[in-house]
Structure 1
Amino acid sequence: MNPVRAFLNKFIFTRNIHWGLLVFLLLFLDVKLVVKLAAILFIYALQPNFRFGFGFKNPRLPLFYPFVVCLAVVNTFLYGHFFQLNYLLVLTFGIGFWMACILAVHQIKRIVEKTDAQIIYQTLVVFFLLNTCVSAFQYLRIVFETGALNPFLYQGNYQKYFISTGDYIKGLSFDTSTTNAVINAFGIVFFLSKRAWLLTMMCTVTLLFTASNLVNLVVFATLLLLFVFNTHKVQKTVIVACFALFVVFMAKVSPQNNRYAVNVFEKVFGIRNETRTAQAKPVDVRILPDSVLTVEQRKEKVARLYLDSLGASIAAKRREENKSLVAMVNERPFIPQPSIHSAPFQNRDDTNAYRKELLCFMTKRQEHFDNYAQTTLPGKAIAYWQTGAFVFQHPLCLLTGAGLGNFSSKMAFKATALQFAGGFPQRFAYINPDFSSNHLDLYTYFFSKRADAHSVTNSPASVYDQLLGEYGLIGLAVFFIFYMGFFARHYKRLTYGIPLLFLLLAFFFIDYWFEQLSIVPLFEALLFLNLKETEAA
């Protein structure tokens, strides 16, 4: 063996931590694509091996990955895109994402196979600790910037933080806060099974501070199932403590998120509680954030704040006129605090460069957006309806999908060269008409609006939507049989792997996670570790 490589191999096993795996996870989960590429180069330089072990009989890795690449190539010929230069670049990029998944899962599996399970566990502990430390640093930075110990209640700086504070808690991936939330969701289930109570609570607190309502809902539904069916007394106590933290957070730390979650729920299910509306006490719109107000309520708020300020000004003048006593010289001067109703404490509806680009794009296609304005459904629900309608109107697409980057994927958004999902050469921009008239219009409509509409509930991103829209029923079948089935067939050996599978299935409704190259490799590392532990037992 090469002496340098021998030294490195000896170093990475020092102190019961697999430093190679840790560095790989830290780099690969980073939001920057170039850093992910560096992670792959690093791990393959450290231990070069390309024996993936794909085979129909007892495959070493999920066959889903090579099958989905084959489907992408077949669709390229099937729809005659092979001779379009711009699309070939899209195809190359798209297959590159899938190949990155293969390269990552191969090395993760290889490391788990060759390393003691306890070392892998301790490496993952360090990973989650680092993620919490970075998240805590991000929160403290906001505290120092605002001067408020609880930025979730701080309305200054034009409500930059306030209800959106969780969006800035991105963790060590520096991706969206949703990614950080999902990472901690995995950590909660993992450490709960390992009976590492402090680490479980640590991940719970970090999850809550990301303020990701959808992830919270999925996690606590999973914990409820574990509480009922598969935990002992101490684990049940820890689960109750997690629920208590959730209640405290929603009631005291970020109560406005509670109302926001209720609003989203009512929109999704079309609920309108007339009794509550009729019996409720009049709400003072002046103290509510703009994100929970209707257009008419915002107008009322502006008018009432103006009248309040006018009245305060008149009252101040009268007090000055009626003053008969002169303040004592040695009296401590009083510095009035800014009014919470003043401009810096209200949400500023600025149009930044990104939003301007979206609005400019909308002006060219205004006739496409009328239908969205007439519905109360969130964007994600509309996206599923669009995909279902599209594939049933095109029988061939129902079978094999519209093709990679042609209907619903991160690659489709990236190829627009509109900076939706990272950069793309402008001269090679590619927009499929089916994507343009469906998910692209949908995304543009919601994300060109005020910031409170920029939610995962309004994003068309979803693994299931991607598979059905671009790979058809065959793609969905391949996913369930050759990816989920790859792990689920070992259900008798899985412990924490089963709730992790449940979590992943739910989280795949939220984003294009395979193309994100973030949470899926972490999930795979946890599942491979679970299988190794039970195999040894």
Structure 2
Amino acid sequence: MTISLPGFDIKKWKNYADWRMLIFLLLFINVHIPFKIVALLFVYISRFNFQFGFKLRNSRLPLFYLLVFPIAIIAAIVNKNFINLYYIPVFGWALICWALALLAIHQVKLMVDGSDTETIYRTLIIFFIINAVFSAANLGHIMWITKSINPYAYMGMHQRYFINTGDDVMGISFDISSTNAVLCAFGVFYFIYKRNLAMMIVCMSTLVLTYSNLISILFLLTLAFIFIFKTTRNQKSMIVVALMIYIVSMAKISPQNGKYLNEVTASALRENRPEKQTATMSDATSRTTNVLSRDERRRKFAQNYLDSLSTIKARQEKLNELDKKIKGLPLTDYGRLYIPEPNTHFAEFYNTGEMTPDRQQLLDCIAIHRDQLPLCHVEPFLPALPGKITGTVQTFDYLVAHPLKSIAGLGPGNFSSKIAFRAAGAGIRGDYPKNYIYINPAFMHNHLDLYLSFFSKNAEFRSVRNNPYSTYDQILSEYGILGLLALIIFYIGFFARNYKKLNYGLPILMMVAGIFFLDYWFEQLSVLVVFELMLFLNIKETTSSDLKTKTTVQEELAYA
């Protein structure tokens, strides 16, 4: 019997979406571990199943999740890590994280196999709408605090928000904004291929609110790839709409983010300054002139003469433009007033001079381990490369110097991971009991030293591009070449083997392969569960012939 209310049918809504999947996703992607545990308890109580189905060939789940446990144990034994009793909780927590990830992907696979694709499609629509609502609520809260309709341009409160506003748009995960950005990027790709313009706009609008620069760059590159190679005409039109949303947001809502990106790029390429390029060109010209023939030298002289005339003309035009601007300035008895526009996004403009608690923790850590952190005492601190690149170099240098440790790594929590930073007791990636602090010497002299050297400094150094977080770095340094091969072959390869059949799954897979350079995503226990859900779903869609949501043959052939 169906219980009906005006405009509401309980039976209809019960079958409208996979509510168990939705509840699981909403709980599991929450940043707090208790929510993740509750999510797993909920799904395993409602569906008790531990038949993982691991096989060497045609495995039901990625073998990576099975192989990582023996590799971790072997590494810990070979490196004699258990001699230090404080390492035991670090090692135990690392294995717990892998176990949670394994339990999650098993249930995700069961959900995909047990539901039809239309139901999952509607479930994902609800999921991304909820995330957009929470993201809008984050922004609304900031607008209430700042009393500004556009906090991205609000320069009060010592620029607490301004270009950093996107950092507080966390969405349903309540995690860092890059987590929200990655989830929204998945949604954009998914709804482009599902030809759902409204939901694509919802996800894209939420993505731009985060202004996560590195994620946005990776997303735009992936979007450009599918625009060229793997979309129909209608889907290309949706991509154009997505790009327009991004461009308008950068131009009208937060133009300072665009300026910030330009200046970061310029600082990263400071060796390519115009004056150096000019000097190099002049040297090359002088060297070339000595070997030219008489006619070639005359032709070169004429060319230089014409170039000089063009330069003079261009300079004169600039002077005329400057003269017009000067005439538009207020005139006083002492001349015209001109106040140059400041670089408002630089730390010097908004630094209050106060010591923040998190930075003080880093300085306290440096003081305790002063003799073991050489990079932290380099003055003046002028890094030649971003910290993320330097971290990769550190890992390779260490493994080259210790080739035996490169096979199975140094063990979980010993070189580059979320738990390694957390166990250092400096407040990085969460709190840790002071009485159980554990720091491996290799981690101390490399990634911890590198991180502290950047993030204990002023705000201009505390950027995502300067932290050494990377999934690839984590797996290579702590699980060795065996772990990295397992990741590439038995995780990425597990999904990539279906690349010819994937549609929205391919850009999502490319996105994940890229974000592995940016953070410790397996330890985040959030983004990858949505990734795995979407890839399992796409594989199911493309390997079944009687699905309503499958792209038609005519659409697949209608490429521009």
TM-score of the superposed pair, with normalisation by structure 1? 0.84
CA 267–479 in structure 1, closer or farther in 2 if over 3 Å, else same: farther
CA 268–387 in structure 1, closer or farther in 2 if over 3 Å, else same: farther
Residue in 1 aligned with 2:295?
none
- Structure 2 residue 449 is the aligned partner of structure 1 residue 441: yes
CA separation in 2, counterparts of 1:222 and 1:276?
A: 34
Residue in 2 aligned with 1:397?
405
Contact 2:521 2:527 in 1 (8 A): yes
- Structure 2 residue 394 is the aligned partner of structure 1 residue 386: yes
Alignment of structure 1 residues 402-417 onto 2, 5 Å: 402-417=410-425
Contact 1:12 1:18 in 2 (8 A): no
Contact 1:177 1:210 in 2 (8 A): yes
**Which one-letter code corresponds to 2:375 in the other structure?**
H
Alignment of structure 1 residues 288-307 onto 2, 5 Å: 288-289=343-344, 291-292=345-346, 298=348
Deviation of 1:83 after TM superposition, in Å, equals 3.7
**Which one-letter code corresponds to 1:99 in the other structure?**
A
Range moving further from structure 2, 160-169 or 350-359: 350-359
Contact 2:374 2:449 in 1 (8 A): no
Residue in 1 aligned with 2:125?
125
CA 218–61 in structure 1, closer or farther in 2 if over 3 Å, else same: same
Residue in 1 aligned with 2:60?
60
CA separation in 2, counterparts of 1:149 and 1:275?
A: 42
CA 408–12 in structure 1, closer or farther in 2 if over 3 Å, else same: farther
- Structure 2 residue 365 is the aligned partner of structure 1 residue 361: yes
Deviation of 1:493 after TM superposition, in Å, equals 2.2
> How many residue pairs get matched?
477
Residue in 2 aligned with 1:3?
none
Contact 2:376 2:452 in 1 (8 A): no
Q: Deviations over 1:255-305 (max 9, x none)?
A: 11112112222344445442699999999665321x436xxxx4xx7xxxx
**Which one-letter code corresponds to 2:457 in the other structure?**
K
Residue in 2 aligned with 1:319?
none
Range moving further from structure 2, 406-415 or 440-449: 440-449
Residue in 1 aligned with 2:20?
20
CA 142–370 in structure 1, closer or farther in 2 if over 3 Å, else same: same
Deviation of 1:153 after TM superposition, in Å, equals 0.7
CA separation in 2, counterparts of 1:111 and 1:492?
A: 24
**Which one-letter code corresponds to 2:376 in the other structure?**
F
Q: What SS does structure 1 have at the residue aligned with 2:457?
A: coil
Alignment of structure 1 residues 209-248 onto 2, 5 Å: 209-248=209-248
CA separation in 2, counterparts of 1:269 and 1:72?
A: 39
Larger-gyration structure (1/2): 2
CA separation in 1, counterparts of 2:421 and 2:484?
A: 21
Contact 2:135 2:206 in 1 (8 A): yes
Contact 2:72 2:408 in 1 (8 A): no
CA 287–266 in structure 1, closer or farther in 2 if over 3 Å, else same: closer
Range moving further from structure 2, 53-62 or 372-381: 372-381
**Which one-letter code corresponds to 1:368 in the other structure?**
L
Range moving further from structure 2, 73-82 or 272-281: 272-281
CA separation in 1, counterparts of 2:82 and 2:351?
A: 48
Choose the corresponding residue for 2:534, options 526, 529, 532.
Answer: 526
Alignment of structure 1 residues 10-49 onto 2, 5 Å: 14-49=14-49
CA separation in 1, counterparts of 2:172 and 2:340?
A: 38
Q: What SS does structure 1 have at the residue aligned with 2:404?
A: helix
- Structure 2 residue 342 is the aligned partner of structure 1 residue 287: yes
Residue in 1 aligned with 2:75?
75
CA separation in 2, counterparts of 1:276 and 1:38?
A: 59
Contact 1:170 1:176 in 2 (8 A): yes
**Which one-letter code corresponds to 1:414 in the other structure?**
R
Q: Deviations over 1:448-477 (max 9, x none)?
A: 223343321111111011011111121111
CA 371–466 in structure 1, closer or farther in 2 if over 3 Å, else same: farther
Contact 1:397 1:472 in 2 (8 A): yes
CA separation in 2, counterparts of 1:162 and 1:118?
A: 41
**Which one-letter code corresponds to 1:458 in the other structure?**
N
**Which one-letter code corresponds to 1:288 in the other structure?**
N
CA separation in 2, counterparts of 1:271 and 1:245?
A: 34
CA separation in 2, counterparts of 1:287 and 1:421?
A: 34
**Which one-letter code corresponds to 1:222 in the other structure?**
T
Choose the corresponding residue for 2:459, options 443, 451, 454.
Answer: 451
Residue in 2 aligned with 1:496?
504
Deviation of 1:485 after TM superposition, in Å, equals 1.0
Deviation of 1:419 after TM superposition, in Å, equals 2.4
Contact 1:362 1:445 in 2 (8 A): no
Residue in 1 aligned with 2:478?
470
Residue in 2 aligned with 1:337?
none
Alignment of structure 1 residues 160-171 onto 2, 5 Å: 160-171=160-171
**Which one-letter code corresponds to 1:351 in the other structure?**
M
Unmatched runs of 5 consecutive residues or more in structure 1: 1-9, 302-345
**Which one-letter code corresponds to 2:442 in the other structure?**
D
Deviation of 1:21 after TM superposition, in Å, equals 0.8
Range moving further from structure 2, 258-267 or 201-210: 258-267
Deviation of 1:370 after TM superposition, in Å, equals 4.2
CA 284–173 in structure 1, closer or farther in 2 if over 3 Å, else same: farther
CA separation in 2, counterparts of 1:377 and 1:245?
A: 32
- Structure 2 residue 546 is the aligned partner of structure 1 residue 506: no
Q: Deviations over 1:415-460 (max 9, x none)?
A: 2233212233322211000001111111112222233433211111
Residue in 1 aligned with 2:188?
188
Q: What SS does structure 2 have at the residue aligned with 1:59?
A: coil
- Structure 2 residue 253 is the aligned partner of structure 1 residue 253: yes
Deviation of 1:13 after TM superposition, in Å, equals 8.1
CA 15–284 in structure 1, closer or farther in 2 if over 3 Å, else same: farther
Q: Deviations over 1:157-193 (max 9, x none)?
A: 1111001010010111010001000000111111101
Choose the corresponding residue for 1:427, options 435, 443, 446.
Answer: 435
Alignment of structure 1 residues 91-106 onto 2, 5 Å: 91-106=91-106
Residue in 2 aligned with 1:324?
none
**Which one-letter code corresponds to 1:127 in the other structure?**
F
**Which one-letter code corresponds to 1:72 in the other structure?**
A
RMSD between aligned alpha carbons? 2.4
Q: What SS does structure 1 have at the residue aligned with 2:86?
A: helix
Q: Deviations over 1:169-219 (max 9, x none)?
A: 011101000100000011111110110111111111111110111111111
Contact 2:365 2:426 in 1 (8 A): no
Unmatched runs of 5 consecutive residues or more in structure 2: 1-9, 279-314, 326-337, 546-560
CA 266–396 in structure 1, closer or farther in 2 if over 3 Å, else same: farther
CA separation in 1, counterparts of 2:272 and 2:352?
A: 29
CA separation in 2, counterparts of 1:191 and 1:268?
A: 35
Residue in 2 aligned with 1:352?
356
Residue in 2 aligned with 1:320?
none
**Which one-letter code corresponds to 1:16 in the other structure?**
Y
**Which one-letter code corresponds to 2:343 in the other structure?**
L
- Structure 2 residue 541 is the aligned partner of structure 1 residue 486: no
Residue in 1 aligned with 2:5?
none
CA separation in 2, counterparts of 1:271 and 1:259?
A: 20
Residue in 1 aligned with 2:274?
274
Contact 1:52 1:61 in 2 (8 A): yes
Residue identity over aligned pairs, in percent, reads 40
Contact 1:349 1:450 in 2 (8 A): no
